[in-house]
Amino acid sequence: MKTWKTNWEESQKRYLDWWNHKGIVLTMWEHFQEGVTPHANVDAPPPAKDLNQRWFDPEWRAKQLNDYVAHSSLMADIPPVANTQLGPGSLAAILGGVFEGGEDTIWIHPDPNPKEDILFNPENAAWKLHKELLTACKKLANGHYYVGMPDLMEGLDILASLRGTDTVLMDTVMNPELLDKQLQQVNDIYFKVYDELYDIIREDDGMAFCYFSIWGPGKVSKLQSDISVMIGEEDYRRFVQPYIREQCQKIDYTLYHLDGVGAIRHLDAILEIEELNAIQWTPGVGEPQGGNPKWYDLYKRILAGGKSVQANWVTLDELQPLLDHIGTNGLLLSMDFHNEKEVEQALEIVEKYR
């Protein structure tokens, strides 16, 4: 790999340390372009003709992402990665959900013909699109950056996307055996899909995951159960934990996305998953962001549970107090950077703790 990121070797070591509950990673989710000297002269695509091209034309998106990364700052530990998102939980589209390109995101509508058995169809158009998009991006990336794994998602979140949230939640009471069966089917298909996409995007053994821009020297995934804010702890242990555990056992480096104050009640069950490496905290709308002192105790609990922490949207003034209170072992700081000057200021602070 001949990446545009000049300090990548150093950053890779930091990511590997972080997965193993050591050190500090200083990065951000996605990238900024303000004041950045381009890494290469690349051809930007013409403006997208419509939303369909904006999201679902592999060649157009490959060019757009190539241009985006070429103009993005890769300072500190910001990884060189192209965000190939195909909507939140694009595995649902592969399993029969329906794509719709919106202004800001891709919506995935429920399967119009939901089935009792969740089956993989190799001829599914969304599946072909995943492969075509990643292949086109990989070709254009030419080793300058990673092509990120789309946010496939898993478990109850995928079933809710396919069959409707109400239906799935009521099945926890009315049809628990059906849910057990479908959840295992989703997991089995997840691994098949994941492995095939991994083989397209891998650089040696390493890869990057789009969501939260994380990198690891093997298979990497962000795992979640956003729907779990609506269920109790007992149901979490039955319908979520076993399937997340299986993912953690089969994927080398795993990050759990804990979303919202209502999800904290499941933290003990999450910490019980021995193979899980790290937990990312998203406070949710109406709450202060990840650098706020309100979350120090949560971070301490995660670290004491043997998992690394990812704190998001940390601001410069929150950085030093956060490090003073949380410590410096196993902390990924996903900063709210807007320009390179801010990165330099953050680096000055972080270097004192390394």
Partner 1 sequence: MAELSKLYDAIVAGKLEPAVEVTKEAIAEGVEPQVIINDYMVKAMGEVGQRFQDGKAFVPQLLMAGRAMKGALELLKPLLKGNASTTLGKVVIGTVKGDLHDIGKNLVASMLEGCGFEVINIGIDVPCEKFIEAVKANDADILCMSALLTTTMTYMPEVIKAVEAAGIRDKVKIMVGGAPVSQGFATEIGADGYSDNANSAVAVAKQLIGVH
Binding site for partner 1 (CB under 8 A): 102, 104, 107, 109, 165-166, 169-170, 172-174, 230-232, 235, 265, 284-286
Provide the residue type at 140 as one letter. L
Which residue number, 114 or 327, has a Cβ lying nearer to partner 1? 114
Burial class (CB in 10 A: 0-12, 13-18, 19+), 297: exposed
Instruction: Enter the DSSP assignment of 210.
Output: T
CB of 166 to partner 1, least distance (A): 6
Which residue number, 20 or 165, has a Cβ lying nearer to partner 1? 165
CB of 169 to partner 1, least distance (A): 4
CB of 64 to partner 1, least distance (A): 21
Which residue number, 230 or 347, has a Cβ lying nearer to partner 1? 230
Which residue number, 198 or 211, has a Cβ lying nearer to partner 1? 211
**Cα–Cα distance between 218 and 200 in angstroms, integer?**
13
Which residue number, 11 or 224, has a Cβ lying nearer to partner 1? 224
**Cα–Cα distance between 224 and 219 in angstroms, integer?**
16
Q: Are 182 and 118 a contacting pair, CB within 8 Å?
A: yes
Q: How far apart, in Å, do the first and last CA atoms of the chain sit?
A: 27
Burial class (CB in 10 A: 0-12, 13-18, 19+), 124: middle
CB of 323 to partner 1, least distance (A): 30
CB of 261 to partner 1, least distance (A): 11
Cα 121 from chain centroid? 25
Residues ≥6 apart with Cβ < 8 Å to 15: 25, 77, 79, 214, 215, 216, 217
**Cα–Cα distance between 5 and 41 in angstroms, integer?**
15
Provide the residue type at 101 as one letter. G
Which residue number, 107 or 353, has a Cβ lying nearer to partner 1? 107
**Cα–Cα distance between 80 and 86 in angstroms, integer?**
19
Residues ≥6 apart with Cβ < 8 Å to 324: none
Which residue number, 165 or 329, has a Cβ lying nearer to partner 1? 165
Residue in 217, 312, 185, 323 with CA at minimum distance from that of residue 257: 312
CB of 252 to partner 1, least distance (A): 33
CB of 168 to partner 1, least distance (A): 9
Widest CA span in the chain: 58
Q: Which residues pair with 238 in a beta bridge?
A: none
Token pair, residue 106, equals 């891709």
Which residue number, 166 or 177, has a Cβ lying nearer to partner 1? 166
Instruction: Enter the DSSP assignment of 263.
Output: G
Which residue number, 285 or 304, has a Cβ lying nearer to partner 1? 285
